[in-house]
Amino acid sequence: MAERVLRSGRRGYGRRMVGAQSSLWRLDGVLLVAVAALCVIGTLLVWSSTRTWAPGSTGLVKKHMLNLGIGVVLCAMTTAIDHRAMRAYAPLVFLLSLVGLGLVISPLGATINGSHSWILLGGGFAVQPSEFAKLGLLLILAMLLAQPAEGSDRPRTFDIVLALCVAALTMGMVMLQPDLGTALVLAVITAAALIIGGVRKRWIVGLTLVAVTGVFLVFRLQLLEPYQIARFTAFLDPGVDPRGVGYNSTQSLIAIGSGGLFGKGWLHGGQTTGRFVPEQHTDFIFTVAGEEFGFLGSVAIVLLLGVVLLRGLRIARQCDDRFGTLAAGTIVCWFAFQTFVNIGMTIGIMPITGLPLPFVSYGGTATFANLIAVGLLQSIRIREQQQYA
C-alpha cells in the first residue's frame, strides 16, 4: 500500500515537472532576451552615471540590482498566474492602486523633484504608487471593455462610460500630485484600450475634442506648475535660457552629440562624469548611452526596445480572448509612448516630462511595474500556446 502511494506521488510530481517544463518552453524567449539585455545595459549606464557621487561608489547600482531582482520575482509570479484569472482580480488591483494614490496625497506622501508622488519607506527606499496605477487602470479597462454588447463585437455604452469614469478618477488623483508625465501615460493607456476595444469612431472623435479643449483650458487658466511651464518654454526655445530653464535640454544634446558614432567608451564620458546633465541615471539615462556608446550603441537600445514592442504586438494579435488582447495591446502602447517621450526629450523633439526609459532607467517602483507587465505578456503567451498544444 505504501509503495503504491509512493509511486502515485512520484507520478504526480513527474506530471507537475513536465507541466512546468512545457510552460517554460512556451515562454516568448525573444522577449525575455530583449528585456534582459536592456536591464543589463541599464545597470551599466546607472553605474557609469552614479559612480562619482553615489554613496560607496556602487550604492545605487546595488540598489538597482536589488530592484531588478525583486522585479524578476514579480515577473515570474505574474507569469505563473493565468491571465484570465487576473480578470476577476482586476477590480481589487485597481482599488489598491487608488488606495496608494490616496496615501500619496495624505500626510504620508513625500515630495521629490517637485512632484508629491512618493511614499518614503526608510532605508533610502521609496514607493511611487502612480506606477502601479498604470497596471491597475490597464487591468480594469481591459476587464470593462472585454465584454461586448449582445449581438455586437463592440463594448457596451455603459462599460465605456464606466471605463472613462475610472480613467478620469485615476488621472485626477495623479494630477493632484502633480505628475503630468504619468497622467499622460494614463491617458495613452485609456485611449489605447478604447481603440483596441473597438469603440465607435464618434467616441474617439468626441474624446479627442474634449482632450484638446482640456489642454487649451489648462494653459489658458494657468493650471500648470511653474516648473512645468518652464519645461514647455525650454522645449519651444531651448536657447531662451541655456543656464536656466533650457539647461537640461542643452546639456543633454551636448552629451549625446559628443559621443559621435562609436562613443567615448564606458565610464569615459566627460559630461557624465562631470554631472553636467541632471537626473542622468533616471530620466536622462539615454544621454549616458549616447555619450559613452555613441550613435551605434544608442540605436542598439532603440532596436531592443523595438523588439519588446513587436513581440508584445505579436502576443496581442495571437490572443483569442478579448481581455488578453486588450491587456497586451495596451501594455505595448504604454511602453511605446514612454519610450518615445523619454528618448524624444533627450534629443529635443519632446518636452521634458520626467518619464523614465523602460527597463533602462534607475528605479524601483517603475522597474517593478514594467517587469510585472512583461510577466502579464508572458502569461497571455503561455495560455494561448497551451490552447493550441
- Count of domains observed in the chain: 1
Q: How far is CA 3 from the centre of its chain?
A: 52
Considering the domain boundaries, does residue 136 fall inside one? Answer: yes
Tens of pLDDT, residues 294-341: 999 999 999 999 999 999 999 999 998 899 999 999 999 999 999 999
Q: Which amino acid is at 215?
A: V
Provide the pLDDT confidence category of residue 15 given band limits of 50, 70 and 90: very low
CA distance 63 to 363: 9
The pLDDT value recorded for residue 58 is 66
Q: Which amino acid is at 379?
A: S
> What whole-number distance in Å separates Cα of residue 202 and Cα of residue 73?
43
Q: What is the pLDDT of residues 165-222, one digit of tens each?
A: 999 999 999 988 878 889 999 999 999 999 999 898 899 999 899 888 887 887 777 6
Q: Binning pLDDT at 50, 70 and 90, where does residue 13 land?
A: very low
Residue 68 lies in a domain: yes
Instruction: Provide mean pLDDT across the span 33-46.
Output: 96
Q: What is the mean pLDDT of residues 42-58?
A: 81
Interstrand relation of 115-122 and 109-112 (parallel, antiparallel or unpaired): antiparallel
* Residue 208 in grid coordinates: 479627442
- The most distant pair of C-alpha atoms in the chain lies apart, rounded to whole Å, by 86
Write down the pLDDT at residue 276: 85
The three cell numbers of residue 96 are 489598491
Among the listed residues 336, 330, 364, the one whose alpha carbon sits nearest the alpha carbon of residue 90: 330
The parent domain of residue 314 ranges over 36-382
pTM for the whole thing? 0.89
| pLDDT of 292 above 70 | yes
pLDDT tens digit string along 260-291? 999 999 988 888 888 888 888 889 999 999 99
Give every CB contact of residue 79 below 8 A, 6+ residues apart in sequence: 27, 375, 378, 379, 382
Per-residue pLDDT at 108:
82
Strand, coil or helix: 264: coil
The packing angle between helices 247-258 and 226-236, to 10°, is 50
Write out 194-240 in H/E/C secondary structure: HHHHCCCHHHHHHHHHHHHHHHHHHHHCCCCCHHHHHHHHHHHCHHH
Q: CB-hemisphere CA count at 13 Å for 236? A: 6
> What is the dihedral sign for C-alpha 145, 150, 153, 154?
negative
Average pLDDT score over residue span 14-19: 44
Q: Are 351 and 374 in contact (CB under 8 A)?
A: no
Q: How confident is the model at residue 360 (pLDDT cuts 50, 70, 90)?
A: very high
Radius of gyration of the chain (CA): 22
Residues facing 109 on adjacent strands? 119
- Average pLDDT in the chain: 86
- Classify 358 as helix, strand or coil: coil
CB-based burial label for 305 (10 Å; 0-12, 13-18, 19+)? buried
Q: Is residue 338 part of a domain?
A: yes
| pLDDT computed for residue 12 by the predictor | 47
The answer to whether position 320 is within a domain reads yes
Question: Does pLDDT of 144 surpass 50?
Answer: yes
List pLDDT tens digits, range 237-246: 666 666 767 7
Q: Is residue 341 part of a domain?
A: yes
Residues 190 and 139: beta-carbon distance below 8 Å: no
Is 26 within the bounds of a domain? no
On whether the CB atoms of residues 283 and 342 are closer than 8 A, the answer is yes
**pLDDT for 151:** 67
In a domain, 367, yes or no: yes
- The answer, yes or no, to whether residue 96 has pLDDT greater than 70, is yes
157-175 helix and 83-104 helix, angle to the nearest 10 degrees = 40
Residue with cell 485611449: 191
Q: 191 with 207: CB under 8 angstroms?
A: yes
- Residue from 257, 230, 215 nearest 353 by CA: 230
The answer to whether position 5 is within a domain reads no
